[in-house]
Amino acid sequence: MKQFTLTRARISIRLGQEIGRGGEGVVFAIEGQSDRVAKIYSTKPDQRRIQKLSAMVDVASPTLLRIAAWPTDLLAESNGEVRGFVMPRITARRDIHELYSPKSRSEVFPEADFRFVVHVCANIARAFAVIHEHGLVLGDVNHGNLLVGPDGTVVLIDCDSFQIGTGSNVFTCDVGVPLFTAPELHGRSFRNLLRAANHDLFGLAVLLFHLLYIGRHPFAGRYSGSGDMPIEKAIAEYRFAYGPDRASNGMERPPGTIPLETLGAEIAQQFAHAFSRSGSNGSRPVARSWVTALEKLQDSLRQCSAASWHHYPRELGACPWCAIEAQTSVRLFGQRIIVDGQRGMVDIAALWQSIVAIPSPGNNPVLPSERPWNLPSGVELPSRELKHIRQFLSACLICGGLVACTAAITNGGMWTVASYVLAFIIWPRVSSEKRSAAERAYAAANAEWEAVLGRWTREASQEAFTTKLKDIESARTQLMDMPNEQRRRMARLEADREKLQRQRYLDRFRIGRAQIPGIGPSRTSMLASYGIETANDIDGNKIKQIPGFGEVLTSTLVAWRKEHEMNFRFNPSEPVDRRDVEALDRELEAKRQNLQSALRQGPAALMRLNQEIIAARPRLMPLLEKAWDNLKIAEAQRDAL
C-alpha cells in the first residue's frame, strides 16, 4: 500500500486496508497501528483546506480526542503535497439515529431502556460543551456526524467540516442539513457563512428531542392553517409542534406522542426556549445546562410497576410509555427484557393462606347522612312554618278578592283591592342578595361535606381494603394461569406465522434508505414522526392523515410497499421466529415476577391498610359529623327564606 509522511511527527506510515468511503475521500487502516486511521481525500485539498486542517491539528487536545475523531497530524506524499490526515480510530459504534425510534432501537440496541437514552443524551450535550469550550463550532449539526457505543458514550465524526477560527482568520463550515439548521439561518447560503455556538445549540436541541421523544422531529406536526407546512418551513417560522404556544402557531403534535411536559418542567422549558424566536438572539440553553437538566432527569427515573422495562419521572402519576404502547401497539423499550433470575418461584397456596388470614377492618360505621339528624344544641333555625302560614293567608286573601269582585255585593271592587294589597303585604319576601348569600353558604357546606366524605372513602372505608384484596386475588389468579397463558400466546404465534414473516420481511425495507420519488429527508422525517419508518408501516389511510401527503404521495408509498410485498414468500416449514419466542418468554417472565411481587407484598399491604383504616375512623368521624351538621343547617336556612 502507499506510503505517506506525518508532517508534524516527521515519520512515515503505510496505509492498510480500506475501512470506509465517503463523498470526499477514503478512510484506511494504518499498518502497525490499531488506534489511528488515515483519511485520504479523493481530490487534492486546496491551500485553504490545508490551512484549516493545520489549525485543527494545532488545537487537538486529550479532551477533544475523547469525544471526536479529530485530526492529529497531516499526511503528505513524497513530494510534500498534503493529501489527508490521521485521526483516532472509532470502533464498535452505530449511528445515533439508530437509537431514535423503537423499531431501529430494537435491532441495534435491544437492551436499551429510557435510562440509557437519557444517558446518551447527556453524553451528546457533554460533547457539544467540549467543542464550544475550545472555541469551535460544529456548523453542520445532524445525526450523521454522531456515533454511539454500547456503553452510551458518543463520538463526533467528520470533524474536518467544523468551523474553526485562528485570530481574524475563520475557516467556515460550508454545509448543513435544513432539518437541524437554526431558523435564523434558513434561506441563507452556507458558503462562507459565519456561524455561532448558538446555532449549534438549536441542532443540539433537535438531536436531544429526537432521542427523548421517541424519534419525533420537534417541528413535525399537524398544521391547522391553509396550505402545506413542511418541516423546513415550520422551523423557519418557529412553529414548534409541542411548545406551549403551539395552538397560536396553528400546530399540534402527532398522535402516539407524549406531551412536552412529560419529562419535567426543566426539560420542557429548555426545549421551549431553544426552539423559540427569543432563543435566536444568542440565548438558547447552552450544552452544560442540558447536561445538568438531563442528569436530574436520569436521577428522577423510576421503574414502572406494570412493565419493568419502562422508566419514567417519579413525579408522574402513571407511566407514559404504557399509555403510548397501548395506543400504538408498539413496544418502545426493552425488546430484550432483562429479568431477575434470583427470585425463583413462590408457594402460592401458602402465601394466599397468609393473605386471607389478615383481618378485615370491619363493616363501615353508619355515616351521619344515614341516620336521623338532630339539631345541635344551642343552634336556632328560622321557622319555615311562619313562611308557610303567610303564604297560606296571602293565597286566601287573593281568593277572597276574586270572590268579592265577581259577587253582587256592595263595594265589591273596594274589597277586592283591599284583599290584594293585604295579600301583597303578608306574602313573605326575601332580597336577592340575601337569597344568593344563603345559596352560597349551602354550596360551601355541601362542598365541605363532599370533601370530607371523599377523604373518609379513601382512608377509613372498608372498600379500600376490599379493593386491595381483589387486586391481590387477581394477581393470584393470573399467576396460577401463567402456564395456560403461555400456551395460548404460543398458539397465537403459530397461527400468525405467515403474518409475522411478512412483517419481518417488510421491516427490512426502510423508507430512509430507499429512493422513493417525492420522498426526501423532510418527508421521511415527517413520516417517522407519525410512526412510519418501513414498508411494513405503510398504510394508505394512515398516510393520508399526515400533513403534506396527498393522493399522489400516498399512492407512491403504497405502490413501493406492494412492490416489496410481491417478492415475499411464506415458508410454511419455518418455525416461529426465535426472537418472537424469546420476547414472549421474557415478557411472561417479567409479568410472573411482577405478580409474585404483588403476592409477596400482599400480607404486609393488607395489614397496613387494616391498621390505617381502624385508626382513621375515630379521627375522621367527628369531621364528618360536623360537616353534615353544617350542611343541614345551611339547607334549613336556605329553605326558610
Q: Is-contact 140 161, C-beta < 8 A?
A: yes
DSSP state of 199: H
Tell me phi and psi for residue 154, to 5 degrees: -125, 155
Which element (helix H / strand E) includes 95?
strand 94-95
Contact yes or no for 28/16 (Cβ under 8 A): yes
Residues 6+ apart with CB under 8 A from 173: 137, 138, 139, 140, 161, 162, 163, 190, 193, 195
Other CB atoms within a 10 A radius of the CB of residue 559 amount to 12
Query: Residue 199 has which C-alpha cell?
Result: 446555532
- How far lies 329's CA from each of 91, 324, 541, in Å? 35, 8, 17
Q: Pick the closest to residue 214 from 122, 335, 324, 364 (CA basis).
A: 324
Active site residue 537: no
* Angle 51-57-58 from CA coordinates, rounded to 5°: 90
DSSP 23: S
Report how far Cα 19 is from the mean position of its chain's Cα atoms. 38
Convert 400-422 into a string of H (helix), E (strand) and C (coil).
HHHHHHHCCCCCHHHHHHHHHHH
Tell me which long-range contacts 489-497 makes (C-beta under 8 A, separation of at least 24).
Answer: 489/584, 489/588, 490/576, 490/581, 490/584, 493/576, 493/580, 493/581, 493/584, 494/576, 497/570, 497/572, 497/574, 497/575, 497/576
Furthest-apart CA pair in the chain: how many Å? Answer: 142
Q: Which residues partner with 436 through β-bridges? A: none
Helix (H, G, I), strand (E, B) or coil at 166: strand
Alpha helices in 147-284 (DSSP H): 197-212, 231-236, 265-274
Q: Give the dihedral sign, CA 86/90/96/97.
A: positive
Sheet holding 94-95, edge to edge: 94-95, 146-148, 154-156
C-alpha cell recorded at residue 32:
502497525
Instruction: Give CA angle at 115 (98, 132), nearest 5°.
Output: 70
Angle at 145 between CA 142 and CA 147, to 5 degrees: 120
Considering 113, 140, 200, 537, which one is annotated as catalytic?
140
Asked if 173 and 140 touch (Cβ cutoff 8 Å), the reply is: yes
Residues with active-site annotation: 140
